[in-house]
Structure formats: C-alpha cells, structure tokens
Structure 1
Amino acid sequence: MNRRLIARLDVKMEHLIKGVHLEGWRKMGDPRERARAYYSQGADELLYMDVVASLYGRNNLSGIVRQVASEVFVPITVGGGIRSLDAVRELLSVGADKVAVNTAATIDPTILSVISDTYGSQATVLSIEAKRQPNGGWEAMTDNGRNHSGRDAVAWAVEGQKHGAGEILITSIDQDGTGRGMDAALIASVAREVDIPVIASGGVGAASDVVKVLSNPDVSAVAIAGALHRDKLTLADVRTACRSAGIATRSTELEVAE
C-alpha cells in the first residue's frame, strides 16, 4: 500500500497561516499559490483547514477551493466550521472531495453518520485535535484547540469510526508547529484501535520525522504544513527519504521521467 504525503494548508480569511500549538498564527503566503506549488512537488492530497471558522459559524473556504480544484488534480479535504449537511454539500459542489469535521461531531456524533450515509464514508473525515494530559492519555479539543471536549482522543477515534467516519485526521496540539517531530505514541495509539486510514499531523520538521511515523504500518498518511511553508522541506525530499527507508509512496511524474 502506498502511503500518502499530504500538504496541509491552514487558512485565516484569505491568508495561509501557521502557528505553534494551533495558536500564534503568522502569515505564510497565498493558499492558492502554495497549493499549486505542492501539487507540482507531487502532493498526493491537499488538506485545507479554516482556522477561524468557529468564530464566524461557517467554513469560508469555498472560493479558494473552487479556484484550486480547477487547477490541482489531487483529492482535496476541507475542514473547519462544518456543522451541517448543507455546508458539506456546498464544499463538495465547489471541488472538495472530503470534509473533515471536529467540533460539531463532538457535540453530536450523528453528523458523521449523516454525511457518510449521504456522500459515503470515503468523504467523511473525523478531525481530532489531541492534547496530552498530565495523568496520561490525550484529550480531544475543539474549536481549533481552544476548548475542551471532555473526550479521550483514542476512544473518540473508535467512536467516530462507528458513526461512519472513513478516515481519522489526528493532530497533536503539543507538537504542532514545533518542528520537533510528531507524537508517535498518540498516532500509534489511534492507529492501533481503528480499522480505517489514519492521517498524522503536527510536528514535522525533517523528512526523518515522516519516515519514523510511516514506519508504523497502521499509519496511512502524514500531513505536513510549516516545514513546507518555510521551505525547510519539499515533498520530493520526503518521498526520497521514504523510498530509502523502504516505505512505499506514489511515484511522481518527475521520478518516472528520471
């Protein structure tokens, strides 16, 4: 099975941003231009997250997704502020392939079932923002890491699968934006308990961080943000490192040409 390398783009209004621990955001450029760049680098998928959607009560990425989907021909997942089937319908109609739901699902998990029953589990992603707890384990946070859900992140992943999620996006708040490596224990704990693909996010600073996580056969993909935005890494760098470690990824056109 080929593992996926996903470019994550967090967006505030019209700007690509990146923070640390899901806060303290800095502008990083144009989310459309970066999408095109990562597509050219061989991204398997794009992941767009509206980081202020909870403040406005809706996802505001339709315009960006519409434009990018006409130029970039890989699957696009969109998350942030998705609270209804109408919101899902709008995003899929402009070119998104999947939607990632966090806060609304913690309040009423049946939204996952409704999306899955209507558009299929392959279009339904449960996004979990997990924060390590002093006494062990991780809590699932909501509203871009600002609020507590009271849910254990691993147990919530299991419940989400039962409600129809076809993928789990697990983001470590503790590692996010640090570039110090991913929370391998968190990722492994979730991947071990579910039977659906797991996308790991948060903390990539070097290609070796991706290799370490994808060495776990239960992890399907890694989403990379800051290291790409700051040009510390390219997706080609990561793909080469994975190949050297014996981890199967998709061959890009560039690699085939070589």
Structure 2
Amino acid sequence: MPTALITGASAGLGAEFARQLAGQGADLVLVARSRDALESLAAELRASQGIEVEVLTADLAVEADVDRVAARIARGPIDVLVNNAGFGLPLQFADNPIEDEVRHLRVHVEASMRLMHAALGVMRGRGGRIINVASVAGFISRSTYSACKAWLIGFSRWANAEYARDGVTVTAVCPGFVHTTFHARMGLASGDEGVPRFLWLNAPDVVRVGLRDAAHGKAVSIPSLRYKLIVAVSRVLPRSLTAGVARRGRV
C-alpha cells in the first residue's frame, strides 16, 4: 500500500485529498493543528476504507513542528506528499501586522520547501509524488498570497523536470475560488467576496483533477477550463489591469 502525508488535512481540500487517496487504497499520515478534527477524519477513513491512518498535530509556522513532520517523512515510507496547509490574509499588505505576514510566508513557502526537501530524500530512486496546493492567484498580482503561490508554481515546474529522472513528480495544483472553510476562517461567507458565482469550484472536482494530473506527471494542474482561460488571458494583459481586477475579491 502507498502512504500519503497530507498537511492541512483537517478540513477543506486537505480532507478531500485524504478521502480520495484513501479511496485509492493509500494509508495516510494526517497533519494539522487540530487534533480533534484529525482524529474524527481518521476514524471515518479507517472505518470506511479499512486503511491505516496516523495523526500528527503540528503548526507549520513553528520551526520545531516542521522539524517533526520532516522527521516523520524521513522515516518513510512516504510515497505521496501533499503540501496543502495554508491560510489567507487581507489584501492590504501595509495594513496587516508584519508578524502575520511572516507566519503566512513560513507556512506557504518555508514549510513546503522543507517538507519537499525531506520527501525528495526518501523518494529519489524509488519514486514518489509531491503535490503542492498553489492557486491561480500565483499567475496574477494579488498581494503576498499571490507571491507565495507563484513561488510554489515556479519551484514545482523546476523540480518536476529536475527529479523526473529519479522517478519523482512534482505538481502544483492551482484552483481558483473553492467552496471550503478557507474563507469562513477569515470571517467571510462563500460568494461574499465580490466573485461571480460561476467562478466557484467544488473541492472533490479540484482534488480529482489534481490527482489525475499528478499521476500523469504534469508540473502544473489548473482544474477548470474557466480558470485555464483566465490564466491564459492574464499572461497577455498588463499587470496593472489584472491586479485591479483581482482586487474585486477580498481574499
């Protein structure tokens, strides 16, 4: 049985990755800050899928916790790593507490990088998949969230080409707005961010396409035709224009 380690697994896309990977027969290591939510999901998947599920509580903004997760990966066998943990901040960088911005960077970029490094240490030569949950925001100027996701996309492109010879694929999954608890944690209700209804995606669809594209070795997965078109158009429009449009959403 393959084993998958998923960060931010207590809810949203992370929990959906857990359910779909469990449905494929994978054993799981679930990582998040909330032990109660992880234990509930673990019990559900053990009962419904008959798999082994390990729970590991960690705050990936804390260096010691990242070290513990990296050590778990190094012990192996981890065949799939899903870097999904993350959170949003208001778009006005200059008005946000700098401590929040630093924590945001640590979770989205530093923790993902360190866990990828640990995973490559055990996957090279034996094979494996790394999935980084990025965003279409990474293609559009939209405060520090976009900058973090752009880093994930760029690094995934490079790593996917570099480590293919070692049997390791690295895929950046880039959804748009998804119906999850991501927005609720910011005190926002889905549909209240100035975003048209047709741009909202469902988590099961995003994860299904992301897993399929990762299995096919794609470096970047954009799980929706509408967002593929948005990304294509954004590449030819002036940055000032796309940034202005992006400000319509509040997250």
Shorter-chain TM-score bucket reads 0.3 to 0.5
TM-score by length of 1: 0.37
Compare the two structures and name the one with the higher strand fraction.
1
Greater Cα radius of gyration, structure 1 or 2: 2
Compare the two structures and name the one with the higher helix fraction.
2
